[in-house]
Every structure is written in C-alpha cells, then in structure tokens.
Amino acid sequence: MEPIQKGIYRHFKGNVYEVVSLARHSETGEQMVVYRDITDSAKCWVRPAAMWQQSVTRDGVSIPRFTYLAPVQTRVYDISQELFSCCVYPGDPAPTREVLCSFDTGSPYHLTAFSMCAHNGTHIDAPYHFIPEGKTVDQLSLAAMVGPCYVAEYCGCVDGAAMRAIWQRAAQSDPGAAARILIKGDAYLSEEGAAVLREAGVLLYGNESQTVGPEEAPMAVHLMLLGAGVVLLEGIRLCDVPEGTYLLSAAPINLGGAEGAPCRAVLLER
C-alpha cells in the first residue's frame, strides 16, 4: 500500500474531504487518518488507515473508497461583513436595496439597485477622508491593501506599549507582515498607538470596529494615520482567525474621487 498523503480526496459516494493529518491510536498503535469536510471545518473525523485504503464494490465494480484529487488548498478566511446586515457607524446612512426586477413578479431575470455610505460594513479609509490634499481611493496603490499582514489579538485601548509589542511580534514572525497590522478583538487605537504605527512606516492598519480611534473621538487618530499615508481597514471580522501572519487581500471598489470604499477583505493562510 502507498503511504497516505495529506490532500483532498473524494469519497466513493461523492463527498470531498481533506486529510489534515495522520495519527496513531493511543492504545493499539493503529494508524488513523484524520480528515474533515472541506465545506465545514467543524466536521472532523478519524478512520483507520487500513479502512481508508480499502476498495468497495459498486455495481459489481471494485473502486477505491477514497480517491486522491489534489494537494491541500490554501485556507481562505472571509473577514468581511455582509453589507445589508452590517454595522453602521453612528450618524452614517445605512445600506438600502431596491429590487428592480424579480422572478417573484414574473421577470425572467433578477436585478438589484442599492445605495450605501462608503463607510458601511468592511471598508477602506483613504487619506482624503480627513486630509484635503490626501489621496482618494482610486489614487491608492493596491500594494498597501494586498500583501502579507499580521493578525494580533487585543482588547481595549491599544496604547503605545501595546502597539510596540504587537509590531515587534509581527516583525519577528515576518518583516513583510509587519507592514500591515490587523487587530482582532474589541479594541480601539490611542494616539500613542497611532504614533508607533506611523514611526514603523506601516502601510495599513485594520480593526473590527467601524472606526479606528475611540468611537466618540476618532478624529485625532485618523489625522495622524491618514496624514502619514497609512490606509485604514475598518469593520473587519476576525473571530475565526488565529493570531499570526497571512496574505491580505482588501482591495476597495474603485470609486473615483471618494474618501473610502467597501471591500471584500480576505486572508489567505501562508
């Protein structure tokens, strides 16, 4: 028998699974296969390796129980909010939608129009949000919003010491990832924390809140970061993402002349 390798397999009944590791039974030493449903990582099972490699008979034909398909796919974390149920910053208009044509009313197609504030849900803030001569969304280099990043877990006020410790952890794990810092948790950035980011020359800072500073007084932190050309990524969702380095893709919609724009932000495991 060939050794079982990690990867994507199809069960003879059609479902597709990922072999995440090989293990041994703690009592008998028997080799086991640990595998999960590729559409739901919470569904995880073990099965004896010998059984994994057995053939089954179907319609009189002997076929493998599991067939190897491909190497393991890169895990993708969607860190965006759904738009129509998203968080709205106090005072901003909420998204609305209008169904222009619908199957329900006999139309042969479905057509939607919608309106939103550029800062609804998961979005990018460009410097022009607070800096009159700052860049607008269409003038931003995508390099700031697409590249290695570091996710750090923190709750409360991210002061200077906290941000310095986070940035150092990021730089130690991958100097490239330290250019883009994302904070997981109910956190807000202080002016001292913003100064650390500015001095470190980060390209992008993101957090789960709809703003980066204290919600009642976010202006000073915005001025410090946007004034230094740091792009902000607000309203992300990191509850499923462990701390560590990832590849970030958070390119905004190309809204000419706008100070912000929504994005479908994702993290790719590295």
* Smaller CB separation from Zn ion, 4 or 117: 117
State whether the Cα torsion 147-153-158-159 is positive or negative.
Answer: negative
Are the CB atoms for 177 and 245 separated by under 8 Å?
yes
Q: Which stretch binds Zn ion (CB under 5 A): 71-79, 106-114, 125-133, 244-252?
A: 125-133
Q: Taking CB under 5 A as the rule, does residue 125 contact Zn ion?
A: yes
Q: Is the Cα dihedral 170, 159, 199, 225 positive or negative? A: positive
Shortest Å distance, C-beta 13 to Zn ion: 48
In the structure encoding, which two tokens stand for residue 165, read together?
Answer: 């410790």
- Is 208 among the residues that bind Zn ion (CB under 5 A)? no
Is residue 184 at the binding interface for Zn ion, with CB under 5 A as the rule?
no
Phi-psi group of 59: left, alpha or beta (phi > 0 → left; psi -120 to 50 → alpha; rest → beta)? left
Angle, helices 219-227 vs 191-200, to 10°: value is 10
**Rounded to 5 degrees, what are φ and ψ at 51?**
-70, -40
Q: How many Cα atoms sit within 13 Å of 222 on the Cβ side?
A: 23
Q: How far apart (Å, rounded) are the C-alpha atoms in residues 245 and 175?
A: 10
User: Which residue stretch of 96-104, 113-121, 156-164, 241-249 sits at the interface with Zn ion (rule: CB under 5 A)?
Assistant: 113-121
Taking the least distance from each CB to Zn ion, the nearer of 119 and 237 is 119
Query: Which of these segments, 19-27, 219-227, 232-240, 262-270, binds Zn ion (CB under 5 A)?
Result: 232-240
Alpha-carbon distance of 69 to 35, in angstroms, equals 14
CB under 5 A: which stretch of 1-9, 119-127, 193-201, 251-259 binds Zn ion?
119-127
Query: Total residues at the site for Zn ion (CB under 5 A)?
Result: 4
Q: State the nearest-atom distance from the C-beta of 208 to Zn ion, in Å.
A: 13
Task: Report, in Å, the least distance between residue 233 CB and Zn ion.
Answer: 9
Using rule CB under 5 A, residue 119 touches Zn ion: yes
- Looking at the Cβ atoms of 3 and 91, the one nearer to Zn ion is 91
Kindly list the residues in this chain that would bind Zn ion in the complex (CB under 5 A): 119, 125, 234, 260
